[in-house]
Amino acid sequence: MTRYSLEIRIKPRPGLLDPEGKAIHHALHSLGWGEVDEVRVGKVLYLDLDADSEAAAAEAATAMCRKLLANPVTEDFEVAVTGALEGAGS
């Protein structure tokens, strides 16, 4: 078993109104960053889990996103394996 670190990035689906992103966009403009075209606000979940392989770890995280972590109506997600610690876990 290897302990993998994963990052799950959840973001609002394109075309969906993101009021929080819009408010931040306004704030950036009023601070002088007029070059900012669009702001979208999502979230990142950091997970550590034990799995037999990197692919198995990513597959488990994808299943978690489908079942609970992301809402397919409003959100897209990406799973990235960011680290592995051999021999960890039991």
Partner 1 sequence: MKAAVVTFPGSNGDYDLYKAAQQVGFETDFVWHRERGLDDYDLVLLPGGFSYGDYLRAGAIARMSPIMEDVVAFASKGGPVLGICNGFQTLCESGLLPGALVRNDVLRFQGMDVRIRVERTDLAFTSGYEEGQVLRIPIAHGEGNFEADKDTLERLEGEGRVVFRYVDRHGNPTDEANPNGSWHNIAGITNEAGNVLGMMPHPERATESILGSDDGLSLFSSLAASVPALST
27 lies in the binding site for partner 1 (CB under 8 A): no
Contact 75, 9 (CB under 8 A): no
20 lies in the binding site for partner 1 (CB under 8 A): yes
Q: Nearest distance from residue 30's CB to partner 1, in Å?
A: 15
44 lies in the binding site for partner 1 (CB under 8 A): no
82 lies in the binding site for partner 1 (CB under 8 A): no
Q: Is 68 helix (H, G, I), strand (E, B) or coil?
A: helix
Counting beta carbons within 10 angstroms of the beta carbon of residue 83, is it exposed (0 to 12), middle (13 to 18) or buried (19 or more)? exposed
Q: Nearest distance from residue 24's CB to partner 1, in Å?
A: 10
Q: In what order do the strands lie in the sheet with 2-12?
A: 43-51, 2-12, 75-86
Q: Which two tokens stand for residue 65?
A: 């996103």
**Residue nearer to partner 1 on the CB measure, 19 or 87:** 19
Contact set with partner 1 (CB under 8 A): 16-17, 19-20, 23, 68-69, 71, 73-74
